[in-house]
Structure 1
Amino acid sequence: MSQYPRDEFDKIPESASRQGVHRERLVPPGSSGLALKILVGVLALAVGLAAFFILPRLGFGSGAEPTSGQSTATATADASPSPAAGADSSEPAPSDPATDGPAGGGTEGSDPTPTADPDGIDRSEPVNVYNASGIGGQATLAAGRVTADGWTVEEIADWGGAPLQNSVIFYNDPSQLETAQELSGVLGIPTLIETTEVSPDVTVVIGPGFQ
């Protein structure tokens, strides 16, 4: 017997068929629970489909594929050349000895500055040779000797001036005197005349008796 005093909950009719309160069973007696299993399976399938189709569109999930723009950017970045490992971009490019010139910075193959010959005579100055001897080929003969000595013959022609008694070398001013003297020794012509009326270049006129 209970040691607690009786109350209104203890006043139960003697003929009542139910004793106490019981919860209703979800699965009727004698049922195997198949319907409940089917219901749980359908709910699980619905949740899986929702997670597969809906969540990726909402941005969830770390395995999402990159968009086409991201793929293009990645491909472009991979295609860009990268400096070699250990290379220092601050180092200047090595110079090419085939293209570098001398200490003055010029390139190989450029025209050097004309320099005087060892005897101090600038043989790059042009020379004219004219024939006043009346014998054909004398101007060509003299021009061959001048060219063989390193000079540049500008013109070979017949003399159109006054007749001469001997061969003469004409020059314009004292700056051409050394050239005239050098040609005098090459051709054996002792007569040198300074004048500006013949030609701006040193001019050799072959007269009678030229050897």
Structure 2
Amino acid sequence: MAEKYPKDRFDTIPEDLHRVGAHRAPRARGRGWIGVGWAALATVVLVGLGVFGLSLVDSGNSFNGAIGSTSKSATATRTPTPTPTITPIVDPKLTVNVLNGTATAGLANSVGDALAKAGWKVGARANASETDLTQTMVYYSDPKNQAAALGAAKSLPGAKIGQTQDYAETGADLTVVVGSDYKG
């Protein structure tokens, strides 16, 4: 049974007051940041899933280099590989591409002719993307071609050898990049 209490000042509500839900507590401070946090988390997750999905679709993307790196920096990281125990060979079954890394016109053709005369099967002859290279290099991507790279370097006075995957997509077994030190 409901108990009756005497009327007091709280029982009379002014006529001009149109409040609904006056019993509710005020909103807690900082509550808006929860939505911002959830949005940031969702953005990070979606970007991560996008990068992962792209790496599955296109395996040619590489996320190992620095942002804005160019082929010039990739060229600078290659170092000649010392190989004193390997016996140089000439293998006419291997294809050799020749790239001119200098400003001298026609140098790729003359180096290609010298390699063909030495018994090599010369493929493409072209200009390199850089024209300021100083060292003539013979690059190989497969370690089994190291002796052949030494043989090609022996055919070119002053050439050094190095292993890199930069030219593997060309299909050639060896790639000669002629520098300004070539005296052929």
TM-score range relative to shorter protein: 0.3 to 0.5
Q: Which has the higher contact order (CA 8 A, sep 6+)?
A: 2
Higher helix share: 2
Give the structure with higher Rg (CA). 1
